[in-house]
Amino acid sequence: MARPDLLVELDRAALDESEAGEAEFDAALDRVLAQVGAEAAPEPELRGVVHERLRHSLAAGAAGVAGSANTLDNLTGLAGLAHAASGVRRGASTGVWARYGSKLIILAAGVAIGFVWGRAPSWQDEPARSDQTAGVPAAAAPAPPPAGDSEDPLAPAASAPPLAPEATARMAVAPAARRPATRAHALPRARPRAAQDTTENAESLRLVLEQLRKAQLFSRAGEHRRALAALDELDARVPLSVLQDEREVARTLTLCDAGHEQAATELAARIIQRTPDSAYALSLRESCAGRSELLEQMRGRTSNPVP
Amino acid sequence: MAPRGAANLSVHATFEELYHDHFDFTFRTLRHLGVPPAALPDAVQDVWLAVHRQLSGFEGRSSHRTWLFSIARNTARNIHRWRRQHDHTMPLSEDLPDHCPGPEQLRAGREALLLVQEYMATLDEERRVLFISQLLEHLNAAESAQLLGIDTASVYHRVRDLRRGFKRWLVSRQGKDGGEL
């Protein structure tokens, strides 16, 4: 196979050790690098695709709407389109985990952050320090904007995690997150035992969020067995009462992805029976569990509108 | 490729303005930093989510491109870290070539990209950032200096070293392949 001319020129110039050869090599290298730049450019349509995804993600995150059908999971930054790119089709269940996974973690994180204000660890480094290039101090953390009062989804709005301090400060307050406020306010006067309880609860919440993220990533990467293992590990380490809804919904979606429809259906039914007004009702109905007659029968008992 | 000094936006540039002017730049930067092609759409989306989160706090102490490059760099780091932690044994860049003849339809640009990525894989992270920022994305010396926390004079010296290093690497590679690259 004939080698492209510009690389042949580069090879030749590399072998010339004369002073003129140095200049020739630099020129040849610059031509090669210009080609690299053009080759590395994105496909033209990707700009619009990503823009749309951003709009929907930010709109869903700001509104806290349960089960936005267009919400695309991007917070963990991996493998979203890789499924499509890899040509593997895993059916609607994977799409549901991809669509609702981030919302699930957002709401779970909202509870965690409301519970122990401002102390939400992240397994994913927050790019917030990006302004900390040399001589460039970190950007000041912006004040939390009011959630959901902007019509433009790309207007500054409460954005979604990763769970780093800055993102924490701007986290959209999911309804569940408002519940623990009194507990957080009690912290300064807490007796040692209460303070210890809070620390232990914070650690539990951290573990839950960490394992939920892992399960999400594994599931999106098609590694369903590892996703379930992450949830099993979580159950072994943290009582199920901690963010039970989120954990069981995550397990339901993962079971769907893994092809365990029966188990997913049974678990989904238990969730809905326990919490008919669950914020995840739509997620569950759009999963493989939603195809069951049981969930169909229960559809009419819930107060969540089904679009 | 975005021209040097594109869109002399004020420090108060809107998200849309930045997105319009620098989307390709962030995509290319992620690619050069070794983000696998399949992960690029999500990665670039992550970058722009971060931009959206942080834009109101941007104070103009660096250029927009420097700032965006930093965000992309952090995003790429996170991806690589996650892949290492989860036993993803694929090379950090799935574009890494082997030394066997490739398909005939490879274009010159594709081969050039593969060659340069192969060279960049031999560099440590700091030199790779310098290579990308200076030689591929044409940030000015002050911008690269800010990225790396070095002075401008060092940028010039190190870029020259990178060029000479690339030349030596090519020669060495030619020797291994019996005269063919």
Interval A123-163: pLDDT, tens: 343 333 444 444 343 433 333 333 333 434 344 333 333 33
Q: Report how far residue A7's alpha carbon sits from residue B89's, in angstroms, rounded to the nearest whole number.
A: 30
Q: Report how far residue B72's alpha carbon sits from residue B76's, in angstroms, rounded to the nearest whole number.
A: 6
pLDDT at B103 (0 to 100): 52
pLDDT at A202 (0 to 100): 78
Q: Report how far residue B30's alpha carbon sits from residue B36's, in angstroms, rounded to the nearest whole number.
A: 9
State the first-to-last Cα distance of chain A, in angstroms, to the nearest integer.
57
Q: In chain B, which among 18-37 make CB contacts under 8 A with chain A?
A: 19, 23-24, 27-28, 31-32, 37
Does B33 have pLDDT greater than 90? yes
**Which residue did the predictor score with more confidence, A147 or B111?**
B111
Interval B46-99: pLDDT, tens: 999 999 999 999 988 999 999 999 999 999 999 988 888 876 554 444 444 444
pLDDT at B51 (0 to 100): 95
Q: Which residues of A touch B1 (CB under 8 A)?
A: 34, 37-38, 41
Interval A50-71: pLDDT, tens: 998 888 888 766 554 433 333 3
Q: What single DSSP character describes residue A139?
A: P
**Which residue did the predictor score with more confidence, A175 or A205?**
A205
- Long-range contacts, B80-88 (Cβ 8 Å, 24+): B80/B34, B81/A125, B82/A78, B82/A124, B82/A217, B86/A217, B86/A218, B86/A221
Contact B42 A74 (CB under 8 A): yes
Angle between helices A192-220 and A224-237 (to 10 degrees): 170
Spatial contact of B78 and A124, defined as CB atoms under 8 Å apart: yes
Contact B42 A82 (CB under 8 A): yes
Q: Best residue in B22, B24, B46, B53 to probe A by mutation, most A CBs within 10 Å?
A: B53
CB-nearest partner of B174 from A11, A129, A221: A11
CB-nearest partner of B19 from A51, A133, A170: A51
Lowest mean pLDDT among A144-158, A258-272, B80-94, B152-166: A144-158
Listed residue (A176, A229, A166, A226) closest to A205, CA to CA = A176
Q: Best residue in A17, A29, A50, A210 to probe B by mutation, most B CBs within 10 Å?
A: A50
Q: Which residues of B touch A166 (CB under 8 A)?
A: 53-54
List the structure tokens of A179. Answer: 């519940």
* Shortest CA distance from B76: residue in chain A: A77
Residue type, B122: T
Angle between helices B15-32 and B40-54 (to 10 degrees): 140
In this prediction the ipTM stands at: 0.83
Mean pLDDT of chain A: 64
Does B130 have pLDDT greater than 90? yes
Residues 6+ apart with CB under 8 A from A172: A61, A62, A64, A106, A110, A147, A148, A157, A158, A159, A160
Question: Shortest Cα distance from A106 to chain B (angstroms)?
Answer: 15
Chain centre to alpha carbon of residue A274: 26
pLDDT at A198 (0 to 100): 66
**Pairs of residues, one from chain A and one from chain B, whose beta carbons lie less than 8 Å apart:** 220
pLDDT at A303 (0 to 100): 45
Contact B136 A33 (CB under 8 A): yes
Spatial contact of A210 and A76, defined as CB atoms under 8 Å apart: no
Q: Which residues of B touch A125 (CB under 8 A)?
A: 74, 77-78, 81
CB-nearest partner of A29 from B31, B55, B163: B163
Listed residue (A253, A283, A286) closest to A267, CA to CA = A253
Q: Report how far residue A64's alpha carbon sits from residue B124's, in angstroms, rounded to the nearest whole number.
A: 42
Task: Decide: residue A177, CB within 10 A, 0-12 exposed, 13-18 middle, 19+ buried.
Answer: buried
Q: Is A29 helix (H, G, I), strand (E, B) or coil?
A: helix
Q: Best residue in A7, A131, A225 to probe B by mutation, most B CBs within 10 Å?
A: A131
pLDDT at A300 (0 to 100): 56
For chain A, give me the number of helices (H) and strands (E)?
14, 0
- DSSP for chain B reads -PPTT-S---TT--HHHHHHHHHHHHHHHHHHTT--GGGHHHHHHHHHHHHHHHGGG--SSS-HHHHHHHHHHHHHHHHHHHHHHTT--S-SSTT---SS---TT--HHHHHHHHHHHHHTTS-HHHHHHIIIIIIS---HHHHHHHHT--HHHHHHHHHHHHHHHHHHHHHHHHHTTT--
CA distances from A115 to A23, A109, A204, B167 (A): 63, 9, 11, 57
Q: Which residues of A touch B70 (CB under 8 A)?
A: 127, 130-133
Average pLDDT over residues A207-216: 83
Listed residue (A77, A85, A166) closest to B30, CA to CA = A77
Mean pLDDT of chain B: 85
Residue type, B95: D
CB-nearest partner of B54 from A35, A58, A128: A128
Pick the most confident of B11-25, B97-111, B143-157. B143-157
CA distances from A266 to A262, A293, B14 (A): 6, 11, 48
